[in-house]
Structures are given as structure tokens and as C-alpha cells.
Chains A and B, each alone.
Chain A
Amino acid sequence: MLEIKNLHVSVEGKKILKGFNLKVDAGEVHSIMGPNGSGKSTLASVLAGRDGYEVTEGQILYRGRDLFEMDPEERACEGVFMAFQYPVEIPGVGSIQFLTAALNAIRKHRGEEEFDAFEALKLFKDKLKQLQMSDEMLHRSVNEGFSGGEKKKNEIFQMAVLEPSLAVLDETDSGLDIDALRIVADGVNALRGPERAMLVITHYQRLLNYVVPDYVHVLVDGRIVRSGGMELALRLEEHGYSWAGERDPAGVAAARL
């Protein structure tokens, strides 16, 4: 599904990712853990195609295609979804209007018939019900005046509607209280499936208690320094990131290549 090879990325001349490698297959959930400034959010941004990130070396293949050949909207239409760390507010644009536009852009891209307003609304309500979320947010402008927790829930809701092949969750757990965390985690778990891959980017191990990943990778200073299973996350929680960086330098253990 996703293959990242020797990725080097700079932001405003500063090297952030320095030879990042990762392979993710359909049905797998990978977690990328790392301290602040290690390059986690840069990875998410590059995958989604945000401006301002310079790829100096390396390659990303998504379903065998060069990801860098695709605009952000094309990536989205091809099934790449990013749950934002800081979802933006779009004043005056109703959530229904926004999500219907997104849904139909993707359906059109796939050659499927577009949904009319009634079909779309029914889908939204069904999804909210499955996720045990209130449909109150449908009647507000996109993220406008939402609390931090509501914004994150909204991201998961959008993911459920758009049914991506590859979901990248950028620190979705940050700033959530325990109840919101549980709802978000339940939402993520409900979307796990054999056709879908997920990349869960997080600073803390906390979320991983609820969303148990198949693989855990530790990102330090732009490289993966350790890879393993859930036990790695637990050891990190105990010993901290400096432990991971010291014992296994230079990213030799990088992923399962």
C-alpha cells in the first residue's frame, strides 16, 4: 500500500527527515512514536502534500504510484486521508455542505454517481450513529467554535464518511480528555479493516492502549531508530525516548524492509 524509501525532507532549509524508510501493507496499523521535533508531523504533511516541505531525496510509492506526482486533492481522491492535528475552522461553510462537496469530489473521481443532499445527509447520520457521536455538529460551520475534542471527533467522523485506503492520524490524541480519547479510539478501531492501512502518529503511548497497533516505530531526529510491536511502546513509556535513541543508533532496525 505505502512504501517510503530513504526520504529526506527539509523545511526552510533545515533538514527534518534524514533517510526515513517504512513499508505499510493493507490491513496493518503502524504507529510512529517520537519526541517533539523528531519529524512526525513533517511525515504526515509530506504524505498529504502540504506546501512548504522540500523533498531533497527519496521516494514514496502509494499503491505503486509516485505520490509526489499527485496534488493534495488527487491523493485524497485516491484514498489518502489525514486527520489533522489542528483542524481549521471555515466560517460560514456548513459542515454538511463541506462534507458533501468532499464526498462527491471523491465519488466523481472514482467514476461513481454523486450523492444528492438527501443521500449524503442519510450517510452522515448513519455514520454518526455508528460512531456514537451527536449529529449536532452537522448543523454548524466546519469546526467553527468547536472544542479541541469536538474537532478531533469531527476528523474521525469525516474519515468514516470518506472511507480512505490509507489513514494518517497526526497526533489525534493530543489535547483529548479520557472520554474523548475513548470515543476517538473506538472510531478508529471501527474503521480498521483488511483493505485499510493506518498510520497513527503520536507522542504518547496512551492512545495505543486503545488502538493497539501491529507495529510500533520510534522516530528520533528524522530516522526510525527502532521498530517492534506493542511491547516497544510500553518500554518507551517506561524509559523515555533518549533510551531508544542511544541503544540503537542510525536507524539500522528501520522497519521491515
Chain B
Amino acid sequence: MSTTTDSIEALAQREYKYGFVTDIEQEFAPPGLNEDIIRFISAKKNEPDWLLEWRLKAYRHWKKLYERGLEPKWAFLPYGYGPIDYQAISYFAAPKQRPQSLDEVDPELLRTYERLGIPLEEQKWLAGVAVDAVFDSVSVATTFQKELEKHGVIFCSFSEAVQKHPELVQKYLGSVVPHSDNFFAALNSAVFSDGSFVYVPKGVRCPMELSTYFRINAAQTGQFERTLIIADEGSYVSYMEGCTAPMRDENQLHAAVVELIALDDATIKYSTIQNWYPGDEEGRGGIYNFVTKRGKCLGRNSHISWTQVETGSAITWKYPSCILQGENSVGEFYSVALTNLKQQADTGTKMIHIGKNTKSTIVSKGISAGRGQNTYRGMVKIMKSAENARNYTQCDSLLIGDKCGAHTFPYIEVKNRTARMEHEASTSKIGEDQMFYCRQRGIGMEDAISLIVSGFCKEVFRELPMEFAVEAQKLLSVSLEGSVG
């Protein structure tokens, strides 16, 4: 009937420009999951006994859940997904050559990151961003470490932290997301490979943005990274992560765990741009992104802020959350989730108010195009001890075309009468009227959609660090490319 709807519906293939594979010699663990594999991973990383024991405990827990068929099924995924064969996955893949410093990194790897827009040579970066590059199961390079050391900031791969700062790792690992937290967290705790570790000492404002760039390269592997960030009293750190993977017809599993700890008066800003391969328009291939992210505002006046822009993955299952334990602590969640093609996302947050005068803000923007299915799932829980807790939730959905879906499942649990809660929600279709208004002013359809969508996401984008905000805007336009004829 109307040409706008027709052409919006013609949600064609978009180009996924990060879909290449790097040809590099890698070593793999044989496929399969058992105690030997875990011992193998732990030995590869030369880990202390306590960590191996911790992994094994997690593995045994996971095995129990697995045998009882307790893989979580509650996410709203109307297209479903194939059973994951955990024995067919290789749990460890690493480039054979292990560089000792940045100068020794395999040029092929450097070229890979260059193509991804992440040059690892320090001089090519805007001063002000340090990068940890994780390639399949290992960190291949971390930039600006020396510069950061001057301020006492530790920024390194998780494996390096285990060797150099075992006391910090042992104290905080699993303190926010215990190994028994959920099915995928248990799996991660058993087999996690690499990830980033950050410690910002008392009173230090981290002088640059820290970032980790995750890349899945090898086939038939999964990526199970573990990130741990500790902000000591009165410190501040802003951390960002990005992710991509090659195009393949098989699905690959990514099950990460991120733990944040903010002590008294500390602030952690954590930003994600997730652009894993989303699969094709028929839903073939793509990453299963099953991630547990949680921050604990342990100290008084501590502050944790999650900002995420999720455009990739075949399935996203992710709820970056805050435990607001310290008095006057603040938790924030700003999210843009876009599902195009046949992508499915079930994402949101949990805000657990424990301390007095704790505050949380949730702003979620879901965009559905193509046959994408987008679900917001959020929980706000006010415990009895949380006097004068406040929450503000805003949850908006935007539909492009008429074959996609938007769904909202908010849960609110209040055990203290002094709580103040606000919840606003809206669902709108990208208006034919808005489109026509733009076009009547000379703006073409794709530009008009991208303009309207960026307006819709503005409240979230302004929370991102500057470099990322520009990136996010571009990514959103690219992800919507082909969404008009």
C-alpha cells in the first residue's frame, strides 16, 4: 500500500564489515569439556592451585546443572535456538607465538586489529585510550601499561593479573558473580580464558580511558572472558569494550563474566559496544552472547554506570546489574539494543537496593527492524534495609517495519515503604509522518531513518565517552543499512 512501509520492510542484508578471518597459526585444546580440559587450561596459564580448585568447583556445579537440564530457558526468544553441544566446542584457542612486548606482536595480528580500526601501536592512538586486545582465548597486547603504572593503575590481561597480583584476584574474583550464580556464569568460571583486569588505587582518577577489544577468530571455539575491575576509595575509571567476530554459518558461544567493585566514593563507568557477527537474514550463524555482568557498589557514595550499545549477535542474553550496598550509592543503566535481520535480544538490568538512600536510573531504548525480536527485561528490588531508595525507569521501543517485535517485562519488588519508584514506557513505530517530513525537506530515506533513530537513542549516546559516541552512531547507521529499499 504505502511505498515507505514496503521499502522499510525490504530489510536486506547489511554488510558486516568485520566478518573476515585471520590466517594465523593457533594452538587449540581438543573439543570437549571435562576436568582434564580445565586442568589443561589452568596449566597453560600457569595458575596457582587455589584457582584451579575454584575452576573445578565451578565445573562440577555446572555439570550438575547441565545433567539436570537446567540451562536457562526463560529468556523470550520466539525463534528459539539450536541446542548447544558443549562437547563440540574447543575451550582454548591461542596464537602460537606469544609476544613478550608490543614490538613482538605478530604483524598479522597487528594488521587484524588495524582492519578492525584498533591500531595497537601506541603512537597511532589518540593519547588517552589504553587498549587490551583479546584474540580468542588470550590477550595479545596491552598498550600504555607503563604510562598507567606511573599513576599506580593496574591494567593488564586477567592471566597477567593472576601472576602478578594474585592477592587482589583472589580477594575479589567471584565476589560479585559467584561461580554458582547461573548456568553460564558457572561455565565461564570453569573455563574462562582471558579478559581484562583493572585496579585503580585510592584517590586516583585514571588518566585515560581503558578499553578492551575482544575478537573471536577461530572456528568451533567459544570465547569465555573474565573481566574484573576494582575501583578503590575515591577513585574514578572509565572503561570501554568492543567486540567483533568472523562471519560463519555455525553459531559460536560467547559466555563472559564481568565483575565491578566500587569502594567508598569510587566511580566506575563501563561502556560496551557489542558488534559480534549477527548471523544472516535467515538467522543462520552468529554469536550466542550469553553474558553475566554485575557491579557491586560496596562503599558509601559509590557509583556504577553501565552504558551499552548492542547491535550484534544472533542472540543477546545480558543484564548488566548493580548491587547497591553502600549508603547513598548510585547505579545506572543506559542501553540501546538493536535487532535487525533475525536477531533476538533479551536484555535489561537488575538494580538491587540494599543500602540507605540508594538511587538507580534505567534508560532502555530498544530498536527492532527486519524480523528482529527485542525484549527488555528488568528488575528493581528494594530490600527492607533500603530506606529512601529511589528508582527511575524509562523504557522505550521503536519498531521499523511490521515483521519485528518489541516486548517488555519489568519486575518491581519493594520491601520498604519509603521507596519511590517511577516507571515510564513507550512503544512507537517509526512514523510515516516523521519520515515524510524529513523527505519533504530533501533528506533521503536512509538518512531520515538514521536521523530519527539517533534522536531516539540520544539519552543513551550522551552517556558514552566521546570517541565511543561517534562510533556508536556510525555503527547504528551501518546496522540499519539496507533497512530501506
A residues lining the B interface (CB < 8 Å): 48-52, 71-73, 75-77, 81-82, 84, 87-88, 90-93, 97-99, 101-102, 105-106, 109, 141, 158, 162
B residues lining the A interface (CB < 8 Å): 1-4, 431-434, 436-445, 447, 451-452, 454-459
Q: Which 5 A-B pairs have the closest CB atoms?
A: A92-B455, A93-B455, A102-B441, A76-B442, A92-B458
Smallest beta-carbon distance A244→chain B, Å: 30
Tell whether, in the assembled complex, residue B442 and residue A91 are in contact, meaning their CB atoms are under 8 Å apart.
no
Contacts of B3 in A (CB 8 A): 51
Task: Among A52, A84, A102, A106, find the residue whose CB has the most chain B CB atoms closer than 10 A.
Answer: A102
Smallest beta-carbon distance B476→chain A, Å: 13
Tell whether, in the assembled complex, residue A76 and residue B433 are in contact, meaning their CB atoms are under 8 Å apart.
no
Q: Check A51/B432 contact, CB under 8 A, given A71-B439, A84-B437, A105-B444.
A: yes
Tell whether, in the assembled complex, residue A97 and residue B442 are in contact, meaning their CB atoms are under 8 Å apart.
no
Q: Which of B1, B438, B442 contacts A52 (CB 8 A)?
A: B1
Smallest beta-carbon distance A56→chain B, Å: 16
Smallest beta-carbon distance A163→chain B, Å: 12
Smallest beta-carbon distance B84→chain A, Å: 38
Q: Considering the chains assembled together, what is the distance between the CA atoms of A52 and B457 in angstroms?
A: 29
Q: Which of B437, B444, B445, B459 contacts A88 (CB 8 A)?
A: B437
Contacts of A109 in B (CB 8 A): 442
Q: Which residue of B lies closest to A143 (CB)?
A: B437
A84-B440, A92-B454, A105-B447 given; 9 more Cβ-contact pairs under 8 Å: A48-B436, A51-B432, A52-B1, A76-B440, A88-B434, A90-B452, A101-B441, A102-B442, A141-B455
- Chain B facing A: main interface SS: helix
Q: Considering the chains assembled together, what is the distance between the CA atoms of A84 and B436 in angstroms?
A: 11
Q: Which residue of A lies closest to B447 (CB)?
A: A101
Contacts of A87 in B (CB 8 A): 437
Contacts of B454 in A (CB 8 A): 92-93
Q: Considering the chains assembled together, what is the distance between the CA atoms of A50 and B457 in angstroms?
A: 27
Smallest beta-carbon distance A254→chain B, Å: 27
Q: Which of A51, A88, A92, A106 contacts B442 (CB 8 A)?
A: A106
Tell whether, in the assembled complex, residue B440 and residue A105 are in contact, meaning their CB atoms are under 8 Å apart.
no
Contacts of B457 in A (CB 8 A): 92
22 CB contacts below 8 A, A to B, read A51-B432, A52-B2, A71-B439, A72-B439, A72-B440, A73-B439, A73-B444, A76-B440, A87-B437, A88-B431, A90-B452, A90-B455, A92-B456, A92-B459, A98-B441, A98-B451, A99-B441, A101-B438, A101-B443, A101-B451, A162-B441, A162-B442
Tell whether, in the assembled complex, residue A90 and residue B434 are in contact, meaning their CB atoms are under 8 Å apart.
yes
Smallest beta-carbon distance A189→chain B, Å: 22
Smallest beta-carbon distance B50→chain A, Å: 50
Q: Check A91/B456 contact, CB under 8 A, given A51-B432, A105-B442.
A: yes
Q: Which residue of B lies closest to A144 (CB)?
A: B455
Contacts of A88 in B (CB 8 A): 431, 433-434, 437
Q: Which of A52, A82, A90, A93 contacts B440 (CB 8 A)?
A: A82
Q: Considering the chains assembled together, what is the distance between the CA atoms of A101 and B443 in angstroms?
A: 7
Q: Considering the chains assembled together, what is the distance between the CA atoms of A98 and B436 in angstroms?
A: 13
Smallest beta-carbon distance A63→chain B, Å: 16
Q: Considering the chains assembled together, what is the distance between the CA atoms of A98 and B440 in angstroms?
A: 12
Q: Which of A72, A92, A93 contacts B436 (CB 8 A)?
A: A72
Q: Which of B1, B443, B451, B455 contacts A73 (CB 8 A)?
A: B443
Q: Considering the chains assembled together, what is the distance between the CA atoms of A97 and B452 in angstroms?
A: 11
Q: Which residue of A lies closest to B444 (CB)?
A: A73
Q: Which residue of B lies closest to A101 (CB)?
A: B443
Contacts of B455 in A (CB 8 A): 90-93, 141
Q: Which residue of B lies closest to A78 (CB)?
A: B442
Q: Considering the chains assembled together, what is the distance between the CA atoms of A122 and B447 in angstroms?
A: 23
Tell whether, in the assembled complex, residue B439 and residue A97 are in contact, meaning their CB atoms are under 8 Å apart.
no
Contacts of B459 in A (CB 8 A): 92
Smallest beta-carbon distance A139→chain B, Å: 14
Q: Which residue of A lies closest to B456 (CB)?
A: A92
Smallest beta-carbon distance A152→chain B, Å: 14
Tell whether, in the assembled complex, residue B439 and residue A51 are in contact, meaning their CB atoms are under 8 Å apart.
no
Tell whether, in the assembled complex, residue B431 and residue A93 are in contact, meaning their CB atoms are under 8 Å apart.
no
Contacts of A73 in B (CB 8 A): 439-440, 442-445
Q: Which residue of B lies closest to A105 (CB)?
A: B442
Q: Considering the chains assembled together, what is the distance between the CA atoms of A73 and B446 in angstroms?
A: 11
Smallest beta-carbon distance A48→chain B, Å: 5
Q: Which residue of A lies closest to B365 (CB)?
A: A92
Q: Check A102/B436 contact, CB under 8 A, given A51-B3, A93-B451, A93-B455.
A: no
Q: Which residue of A lies closest to B451 (CB)?
A: A93
Smallest beta-carbon distance B428→chain A, Å: 9
Task: Among A72, A88, A141, find the residue whose CB has the most chain B CB atoms closer than 10 A.
Answer: A72
Contacts of A76 in B (CB 8 A): 439-442
Q: Considering the chains assembled together, what is the distance between the CA atoms of A108 and B437 in angstroms?
A: 19
Task: Among A84, A92, A106, find the residue whose CB has the most chain B CB atoms closer than 10 A.
Answer: A92
Q: Which residue of B lies closest to A75 (CB)?
A: B440
Q: Which residue of A lies closest to B441 (CB)?
A: A102
Q: Which residue of B lies closest to A86 (CB)?
A: B433
Contacts of A93 in B (CB 8 A): 451-452, 454-455, 458
Q: Which residue of B lies closest to A161 (CB)?
A: B441
Contacts of B438 in A (CB 8 A): 90, 98, 101-102
Q: Considering the chains assembled together, what is the distance between the CA atoms of A77 and B438 in angstroms?
A: 12
Tell whether, in the assembled complex, residue A97 and residue B437 are in contact, meaning their CB atoms are under 8 Å apart.
no
Task: Among A48, A71, A84, A88, find the residue whose CB has the most chain B CB atoms closer than 10 A.
Answer: A88
Q: Which of B1, B431, B442 contacts A77 (CB 8 A)?
A: B442
Contacts of A141 in B (CB 8 A): 455
